[in-house]
Each structure stands twice: as C-alpha cells, then as structure tokens.
Amino acid sequence: MTVTTAATHQLGAERLRATRRMLDAAFDGEFADEDWDHALGGIHAWIEDEHGIAAHGSVIMRRVLHNGRSHRVGYVEGVGVRADRRRQGLAGLVMAELERVIDGAYAFGALSASDEGAALYRARGWETWKGRIEALSPEGILHLPEEEGSTFLRSAAGRPLPDPAVALVFDWRDGDVL
C-alpha cells in the first residue's frame, strides 16, 4: 500500500469531497462539520485503492500552553478507515506518516481517541495524558474533565513530554475542543 501525503490545499476539491464521504461512513454519520473543519489546514496522509479513499488522517498545528510556554503541537485529526479495509494495517501506515510529520515539525504530538481507536495509538507508543486538560475559551480557561483519559501524547523525535503535574491548556475551537 502506498501512503500519499500532501497539504490540504494540494488535495483538490474532488479528493477532499471523497475523503469527507469516507470519514462520514467510517464514523457512521457521527463525523460532524466541525470535525471535518478540524482536519483541514495541515498535512494529510491517505491510502487509495480501486474503490477510492481507503484510509485517511491529518495532522494540524495547535497551540498548547504548558508550564508558562506556548508549544506548537502536531494534533492528529480525521483518522478513519473504510469499513471493508479495516484490520489490514492501513491506519498504522497512515499514522506512521503523520508521526514523521510530527517528529519533523512539532514539540510533541497530541490527539483525542475514541475507545475503539485507543488501542491503535497505545500500540504505536502514544501515552495517555495523566494530567489535567483545559482550554483557553472565550470566557477564560475552562477545565475539560471529559477529555481526561482519552487524550494521548507522543514525544516528537525523543523530546521530553510535558509534566503531567501541570495542566495542558489547548487553544479554543468550535465543536469538540479536543
């Protein structure tokens, strides 16, 4: 399988539409417009076969405050595999490319995993964040306890991960903040 990578602007309208359709189906109609918006603007990795987009993921830049610093973080979005191609290693191939991008461009990687997806990330060395999760909302800093336990981090190129004794404060966005 060949994994292709490109920035959002390089995908073109038809490939973007095909990717959105695949993600809508992969998430059983639970992939909202805000989820799609979150997956845009960074680097995409995808696999195509004779039936179209078989797997996809993207990594976008987010700002995360931690211990008095603002970090550039590679945030993974829109990872999905078409139903007929699941359990064939495609998500792992896509993630390998996204991790390569994170290693080359960011302080660390982050993502929010569903219960179904968590095993993939753990197997790839992503670690469950054991600290507090917050977001810098329009009303100020907001605690997000529902995100604790489902947020994963990955060291970029061997750099140390943040100290879990200090909260991660993510930038605000519409829809699911994480």
Domains of the chain: 4-171 (3.40.630.30)
Amino acid 116: pLDDT? 87
- pLDDT of the chain along its 178 residues, tens only? 899 999 999 999 999 999 999 999 999 999 999 999 999 999 999 999 999 999 999 999 999 999 999 999 999 999 999 999 999 999 999 999 999 999 999 999 999 999 889 999 999 999 999 999 999 999 999 999 999 999 999 999 889 999 999 999 999 999 999 9
Amino acid 126: pLDDT? 97
Instruction: Report the helix count and the strand count for the chain, using DSSP H and E.
Output: 5, 10
Residue 101 is given by DSSP the state H
CA 144 from chain center: how many Å?
18
Task: Give, for 17, the enclosing helix (H) or strand (E).
Answer: helix 13-26
Amino acid 147: pLDDT? 95
For 40, 96, 168, 169, the CA distances from 71, given in Å and listed in that order, are: 20, 22, 10, 10
